[in-house]
Amino acid sequence: MRKDVYYQRGAADPILAENVALEIVRQYVPDAGAVRYIDETGGEARTYMVDDDITLKVQRPHRLRMSTSLEKEAFFLRQLEEHASVSVPRVLGYGRKGEIEYTCMTRMPGVPVYKAALPPDARRAMLFELGKTLRAVHSIDQAPFIESGLFPRDDSGDLAERLRLRAYDKIERIKGASPAQKEDAMRRVDSELSHIEATGQFVALHTNPAITHTFVDEHTGRFIGVIDFGDAYIGHPIFDMWYWGVTDKEQLLEGYVNETPVSDEFMAVFRTVNAIDELVDVLNNACGESKYEYGWE
């Protein structure tokens, strides 16, 4: 399975002067007025919020890695433009100004899920709509993604290994668990994963459409859309669901299969992932740990 490292850690990471940011944006939006604020919460990019509806996203040089690419994100978003059922930012322009790599795009209205206090019914409705959106994303023509050369691709054996490494990491982080408890949990993870067979059912993925990248109306909780496709790669569709908890994934699945059923192979993988998450939750609870907050990874 491919490794992911930052390969120019020592590069300078200057904040753009407002006039420089606006010069870039005005190539695409001539009447752009002012940078309202700068958001540095993203891992690999810095975003300049211009006026009320424009985002200038700039690659941070010291956070450049193989899996993240503004060019790749712009490509993905442009592939989605003709699909009205998929609510994502619209690319206004992508390019470079000297050594500055950037994407200028529309801003997603609303707030990320982690900032919204959603009651159970609203959360279920949000997950249903997100599930429908993910199915639409996974169903578009995959040939352009493969032919572009921009998207890393998993091998068939990466499916089980990704799931194993994630489960092991979550188990290791349970501070109250003894070495024997952790070893037993890992054995049970391996047992669950032994039922997964190699698969070629791979599609272009968002990779983390969870509580930081899924947006809702802050007043009604209504699903609005999804942002940040910069970590996209080609892999199994389950990896666009795995950051959600057990119940959340089941509700997500309701939207995912709303119009078209999934294969038996997909359901076998889905059940395996939820079984592993359940056993991790059980160990968490047995050790008095707080429940794992899905979606923050």
pLDDT tens across 123-168, in order? 999 999 999 999 999 999 999 999 999 999 998 788 999 999 999 9
Collapse the DSSP code of 95 into the 3-class scheme (helix H, G, I; strand E, B; otherwise coil) and give the result: strand
152, 264: one domain: yes
Residue 6 lies inside a defined structural domain of this protein: no
Question: Other CB atoms closer than 10 Å to residue 289's CB: what's the count?
Answer: 15
The one-character DSSP state at 143 is: H
Between the two ends of the chain, the Cα-to-Cα distance in Å is 19
Q: What is the pLDDT of residue 195?
A: 83
Residue 17 has pLDDT above 80, yes or no: yes
Task: Give one word for 221, left, alpha or beta, with left for phi > 0 and alpha for psi -120 to 50.
Answer: left
Could you list the residue range(s) of the whole structural domain that residue 234 is in?
111-286
Determine the Cα–Cα distance for residues 69 and 75; give it in Å rounded to an integer: 10
Quote the tokens at residue 243: 């950051």
| Within a domain: 79 | yes
Distance from C-alpha of 57 to C-alpha of 70, rounded to nearest angstrom: 8
E strand segments, the chain: 35-39, 45-50, 54-59, 91-97, 100-106, 111-112, 203-205, 214-216, 223-226, 233-235
Q: Which CATH number is 59's domain given?
A: 3.30.200.20
Residue 116's nearest CA partner among 107, 127, 105, 101 is 127
> How many CB atoms neighbour CB 180 within 10 A?
8
Tracing tokens 């540095």 back to the chain, one arrives at 40
Q: Do 221 and 74 reside in the same domain of the chain?
A: no
Domain count, the chain: 2
pLDDT band per the 50, 70, 90 thresholds, residue 295: very low
Q: What is the average per-residue pLDDT within 51-80?
A: 89
Same domain flag for 199 and 226? yes
pLDDT digits (tens, 9 = 90+) for 70-110: 999 999 999 999 999 899 999 999 999 998 999 999 999 99
What the block records as the tokens of 54 is 């424009």
Indicate whether 44 pLDDT > 90: no
Instruction: Determine the average pLDDT of the residues in 272-296.
Output: 78
- The predicted pLDDT at position 178 comes to 94
Residues 133 and 243 in one domain: yes
Looking at the fold, whether 81 and 145 belong to one and the same domain comes out as no
Which residue in 210, 55, 63 sits closest to 127, CA to CA? 210
**Any idea how long the chain is?**
297
Segment 198-226 mean pLDDT = 93
Question: Is 281 contained in some domain?
Answer: yes
User: Inter-axis angle of helices 158-172 and 264-286, to 10 degrees?
Assistant: 10
Listed in sequence order, the residues at least 6 apart from 102 whose beta carbon sits closer than 8 Å to its beta carbon are 24, 56, 57, 58, 59, 70, 94, 95, 96
Report the range of poorest mean pLDDT among 38-42, 71-75, 196-200. Answer: 196-200
Q: Is 181 within a domain?
A: yes
Residue 125 is encoded by which pair of tokens?
A: 């409705």
